[in-house]
Amino acid sequence: MSAAALDRHRLSVCDILAAIEDGALAPADVVAESRSRITARDAEVGAFVTLADETASAIGGPLSGIPVGIKDIFDTSDMPTEMGSSLYAGHRPRFDATLVSMARTQGAAIVGKTVTTELASLDPAGTNNPAAPGHTPGGSSSGSAAAVAAGFCAAAYGSQTGASVVRPAAFCGIAGFKPSFRLLPTVGMKTFAWSLDTAGLFAASVRDVALFADLLTGRALRVRDELSLAGLTLGFYRTKLDDSIEPAMVDALDRTRRAAEKAGVRIIDLDEPGALEEGRDAHTAIQGYEASRALMHEQRSGGDSLGPKVKAILDDGAGYTPEEYDIARRAARVARKAANGLFESVDAIVAPSAFGPAPKGLSSTGDPTIAKLWTLTGNPVVNVPGLATENGLPLGISIVARFGRDARVLAIAAGLERTFSGV
């Protein structure tokens, strides 16, 4: 592979590192190509809010040559961290967030800060979807998903309080990894709701995001062998929200079922337990109560300048009493136990990452409701790309595993992604 050959592909972590190891590419060439692409095309995509100084260089390491975008809610010592909000215009942290420091230590090249919705909430920030021009890229990790989908960088950081990793990944046709709660540190990441906020990762494919996570953390997360799906049991998760799933997503789930069965997977349907239905409902109260406290100063000092959607969440959240919050927390605790019980009968769960493809227009980031349960329970989730509507809009399927089984969920997701080429 040459630097010129990268022009024809999204930047793949696996391919780049293999080419560097073989001597076919130099790390500096990949980083230069990343910068060139951003300069040439980001005016139409709007994935980045700030670019790193071209003179900045990363030390050698296992991620040397991997260009990475950082969602603009993670502190960076060399670039502003503005949270997508005028309240933080020009804000310059003195130190990197822990995850940013980890990337630099492993040799990754931080190429810039990616666009976030205001304070990582729901107000769109104007980023376009490179996989579906004229459609939302999702949110709140809008710029990170768009940057990977456009081939601007090989990996990017996001965060998820509801569905802000899996939904943008689904809309942009890339892999999104929302790990088990607190697997990735959130020190130096702007808090929205402290018991829900989860740092996540984007890359072109499941294998790419698994390798990136492995080298970033030192955990055994990469997909080392071709996993055979034969003999596994996958549960298709059924909820009261199913009637709202769009026909294109219903078709995608059917295709997923056929592909899995062809690969030798046993399929069962899992009806949502009442405790998990109550847990999903509790998410709203927990998120609102915690956000109204975590962002109390922003709301009091700059509430009039906040976007309407984040302002509504904070206003509603301030109305919850401590007693109501505690009731919701108890429901969440019961839901997490119930979620653990699901995996007594299945190896992993299959669920939609969104109700359908990315909505047209940039006035909304899409509805997070169908995916937010797994943020509340803390289970690891991977958005598996590879399916699309008849007119080419990406569709995302989520694979969910037992808490702490992050390597397992990545392996199963990679195996499923491989089967999509035949459906």
User: Annotated active-site positions, please?
Assistant: 71, 140, 164
Are 386 and 369 in contact by the 8 Å Cβ rule? The answer is no
Supply 377's token pair.
């329970």
Type and span of the H or E element at 237:
strand 233-238
d(CA 353, CA 92): 35
Q: Quick one: how many helices (H) and strands (E) in the chain?
A: 13, 11
Burial 52-79 (b: 16+ CB within 10 A, else e): beeeeebeebebbbbbbbbbbbbbbeeb
Residue 265, phi then psi, degrees to nearest 5: -85, 140
Q: Which residue has the tokens 């004229």?
A: 134
Q: Which residue has the tokens 């230590």?
A: 105
Type and span of the H or E element at 120:
none
d(CA 280, CA 381): 16
Q: Which residue has the tokens 């090249």?
A: 109
Cα 188 to Cα 94, 97, 216, 314, distances in angstroms: 11, 4, 17, 22
Tell me the sheet residues that pair with 382: 177, 399
What residues contact 296, with CB distance under 8 A and at least 6 apart?
Answer: none
| Positive or negative: CA dihedral 233, 247, 284, 136 | positive
Q: What residue spans of 53-137 are helical by DSSP H?
A: 98-105
Tell me the sheet residues that pair with 155: 68, 203
d(CA 175, CA 168): 9
